Amino acid sequence: MPYRSNNTSAIFNAFAQFLFLAVLVSLPVLVIRFDIDTLKTGASEGTLVEYMEQFLLSLTILCYAYIAKHNPSFKRFGALVIGFFLCLLIRELDMFFDELVFHGFWVYPAAIVAASAVIYSLTDRTETANQFAAFVNHRNFGLLCMGLAMLLVFSRLFGMSSLWRELLGDGYVRAAKNIAEEGTELMAYVTIFYASLRYVFAMKPAKHKSTHKSDSSVLCKR
């Protein structure tokens, strides 16, 4: 019967999604274990955790670049989104800029990217505002917000030295605090990438719409 087939498909998809998410959330732990057990890098600079964060940020940027390519009306607001994540990537590459130029140099390319994104988005304020509203009203925005909150708020609070000194007392080891903070950041980047990937799949029907119609509604799905 059709309804049985539909139910079976829904149940199978639910299990498949759970398994995919289980693998995804296991990634930060596996990367940290590989850093400690195999690479012996611990919490030092240039860890696999940091490289994975940069890789996930790069994939996130590509997600929104793909959306902007296939949805012309998303380009101006997309510039803000891409610019924001590109600034995060530049910040993650601060060690590279420190060695290549001088300490703290990352601020300058990040400022140029941010200013360029803002200026471009303001070339059509109405369209940018419409796409902003569509983006935040989308069903995946909550997940994206959770990832950003984990990255910008929770990881900072969870990684406070005072918290770990009070918890561990005389047994305080900075490496343990750093691993906890970096692991939380990596989990946040995984969440952000997953939400961004869902945005990509949500906009796919736009390819089948008439080129004469505005596709600003593509991101309005709930």
pLDDT in tens, the chain (222 residues): 565 677 888 888 899 989 988 988 898 888 888 888 776 665 556 788 889 999 999 999 999 999 998 888 888 999 999 999 999 999 988 888 888 888 888 999 999 999 999 999 999 899 999 999 999 999 999 999 999 999 999 998 988 888 888 888 877 878 778 888 888 999 999 999 999 999 998 876 544 444 444 444 555 455
Radius of gyration of the chain (CA): 20
In a domain, residue 123? The reply is: yes
- Predicted TM-score (pTM) of this structure: 0.84
In a domain, residue 97? The reply is: yes
In a domain, residue 42? The reply is: no
In a domain, residue 94? The reply is: yes
Q: Compute CA 197 distance to the chain's CA centroid, rounded to the nearest angstrom.
A: 9
Q: pLDDT digits over 56-89, tens only?
A: 999 999 999 999 988 888 889 999 999 999 999 9
In a domain, residue 11? The reply is: no
Give how many domains the chain has, as a whole number.
1
In a domain, residue 176? The reply is: yes
In a domain, residue 222? The reply is: no
- What pLDDT was estimated at residue 90? 93
In a domain, residue 58? The reply is: yes
Boundaries of domain holding 85: 47-203
- What pLDDT was estimated at residue 48? 86
